[in-house]
Structure 1
Amino acid sequence: MPGGNLTIIGLCVAGGLLVILGVAGMVRKAKRAFKNSLLGQIYSGVKQEVREGKVGPEDFNMSQEMATPKSVSDLSSALIPRISKDFPDLSLSQMQSAAQAVLVKSLDLLTDMTFGNNGDTIDRIQKQLPECGIGVTRSLSEDLWHKVQGARAENKSLIYRDIIVHKGGINAYERTASTVEITFQYSLQCLQYQERNGKFISGNRATPTQTRYNVKVVNILDAERFQSEDIKGVGFTCPHCGAPVQHLGSDVCPYCGTAIKTVDMRIWLVNKLIEI
């Protein structure tokens, strides 16, 4: 029955082809579904960045330390009663939010002002930081500006992307005869890396860096005593225009005419950002 055997063989081959085609169709359908899914879109985006050289193998060396948010030393429960006793009208929650905004804005400014060397000056820092809801010292503005100048001199871009603040709290409270300093500590993550002339040179462009910052806020109690102490380079800015204010007792800004409230010579200003 040679003819019958050939028929059976032909049917088997045809059936096998149909199975193969069916499986291939299912694979194509699954690939299309994956491509259209959120995970597939993320994969496509990373693949494109690898192809364009924006992400390399060095960016995927993820360690447990980099994956876990840093803890903060939050002493709020112990310090809030002391601070509230000294300053009963002070909103610590509002100050903590404003100090956090200054931290995030400072990192954004470092990115914007070093990426492409757009010609911005310290004036942009002095104008935009006080918009976060709290004043800043001249010293802080100059510290950020020096970082911008240093990066520009080396044709480097300091990149801080996708910043997320995980938690924050009051870390320290110190008082002298002329100043009060409240230190807020924040845990944050961001994609942190450096480029030179558009080419990656250090950091990680795919795995978030976990870090901590201390943000120090000072309060001026006595201008004369403060100025007589060995604290150099601390200046003050108008909360409206950001211009430097030379005399703490001034009632109005000499540049824009905005009234400056200096009750009992008390002015709260963000003075330092310290990565720890």
Structure 2
Amino acid sequence: MDGTFQPSFPGALLAIGAIAAGAPLFGEGLRALRLSRLFATLDDQPVDARPRGFASVKGRVALESPLFAPLSAEPCAGFVLRIFQATGGQITTIEERRPFRLVSNGVSAHVGTSGMPWRLRETARRELHASEEPSQNLASLLARSPEASWVRRAGATLVLVELSLKPGSECHVVGEVRGMRGGHAVAAELALRTGTDGETTTAFVAADREPDLWIDDSGGSDYLLVSNRDDERPGLPHLKARFLGLVFGPALSGMGLLYLAWAAEQLRAHGRF
């Protein structure tokens, strides 16, 4: 070097940042590659086939500890509430979900929760005018969004869209399937109060204490898809962008290491190291 380009403290910080950023990028790339290989052999199977490992499993939803959907007031395993301004775009999305059972021909699988969003079917839609008083459950959900609260105070109308996973509905789950010792799955009917008007509704609930199978995002896949949408079957997720991590991850880390090595050599040459 002729001295026109010298190592600097900001440069060292950037190099360290590149090294730190490269590792997770490479990790995401490896995960994408692993998922692509798993999806290449994926086949949709009913719960009573008792698959093992990474699998796509289908069955009927049975509740373990039900929620109540905010608009339809019916029991569900989970819901998504999308909040729009009537004259504008989407304001926010509120999600709640709980573990549930997937049941088929007397065999049940416990389905856990993960950070991945559920892909659910729309089950209710309504407009909420500023002059209307929402139910206690809905009001508590709206209070979670400062933007929605501000829009209501401004006198605007909200459009609420509910997507939910209701008992008895067909559902497919993609994740890591493990066996459980003992237990026998039985789907029973239970009258549940909606908590809104005193009426009761009948829902399928898991009556057994021990499921036959356990489905979650373990096993190294870190993937758990839950969907009850008829227009969407399990398929390879959008991973193309993540594949770039296999190239850019090591490249970033390598550039950072090269800069630090060059900086150390320059400091050594000038007697500063």
- TM-score scaled by length of structure 1: 0.22
Structure in which a larger fraction of residues adopt helix: 1
Q: Which has the higher contact order (CA 8 A, sep 6+)?
A: 2
The answer to which structure has the higher strand fraction is 2
Which is higher, the Rg of structure 1 or of structure 2? 1
